[in-house]
Structure 1
């Protein structure tokens, strides 16, 4: 079954979906739950993977390509043709570790900006896979960070909202052509 979602991990000159960038309203709207997982949802996931690989990303949420649905794709091993990408539909963080890690993050919707963000080191997430089957995953490390980052997108939150060093944030955004007024800081 999963073979039908198989996507070649390569850059396309013309990715099937267009990325939206910081300042675009679509990135701030909470995404709607997917009521039925069918071929149209799998097609969106396939196109999201193609777009993510084309942009050299490791994760992509549907709002980043203008689709207001709770769908995300992740592949923390984009250079490994054997590594299967993760498709998560209606993901919910069920539990997270008290241990926090600070690591640098970037985002396809804010190209060139990389800043440190504090997040739980481990998460437990329930979701539906691309076939509508309920799944639960315990994740740590880069996968946990990518899942949290992409789930944030589904609620209209962007990683820059979580950056604690506001002076560096303003500098980096300005340096890369973005405005700090598009940031919605989240209280730590």
Structure 2
């Protein structure tokens, strides 16, 4: 396995909509290696989710593991969020592509998502809390959307100024 470079804001790839993955490609060793490399990259960063566009691959797949012991790795290929609860949850979010910036974002507390696993088997997952937040965050990446897009113009401007200062000072 090897670490992949994570692209950072304002790289234009982060704003592009990813294309569906051909399920026939899931059996390819290269695809399986990319998934393994993404997990290694996410854990090393450290993070709890990573979408393919964040490693400059404009395809609709992502990985998630919100378990503190890194024991629940999940792969979502061509994910579609089918239902979102009316109940909302505010959560402090960050992003590996916008390092050092955190902000409170309100999202649906519960979701239902359909996807293929890493071997092409379809599944439906109904989740809430942190896992639901993480999945919504990563699906946004597949659609070219970032968590800072949910912030008010003032808070987004403040976050981007902070990012600029962080980059200047290493």
**TM-score, reference length from structure 2:** 0.90
Structure 1's unaligned 5+ residue stretches are 1-6, 8-14, 179-188
CA distance in 2, matches of 1:21, 1:99: 31
The aligned length equals 162
* Aligned residue number for residue 21 of structure 1: 8
Structure 2's unaligned 5+ residue stretches are 166-170
Cα shift at 1:102? 1.4
* Aligned residue number for residue 151 of structure 1: 139
8 Å Cα contact 2:80-2:113 kept in structure 1: yes
Larger mean Cα displacement after TM superposition, 151-160 or 42-51: 42-51
* Aligned residue number for residue 101 of structure 2: 113
* Aligned residue number for residue 137 of structure 1: 125
**TM-score, reference length from structure 1:** 0.82
Cα shift at 1:168? 2.5
What is the DSSP-based 3-state SS (H/G/I as helix, E as strand, rest coil) of the residue aligned with 1:176?
A: helix
Higher fraction of helix: 2
CA distance in 2, matches of 1:96, 1:73: 20
1:1-188 to 2 correspondences below 5 Å: 15-35=2-22, 36=24, 37-38=26-27, 39-77=29-67, 79-81=68-70, 83-164=71-152, 166-177=153-164
What is the DSSP-based 3-state SS (H/G/I as helix, E as strand, rest coil) of the residue aligned with 1:68?
A: coil
* Aligned residue number for residue 168 of structure 2: none
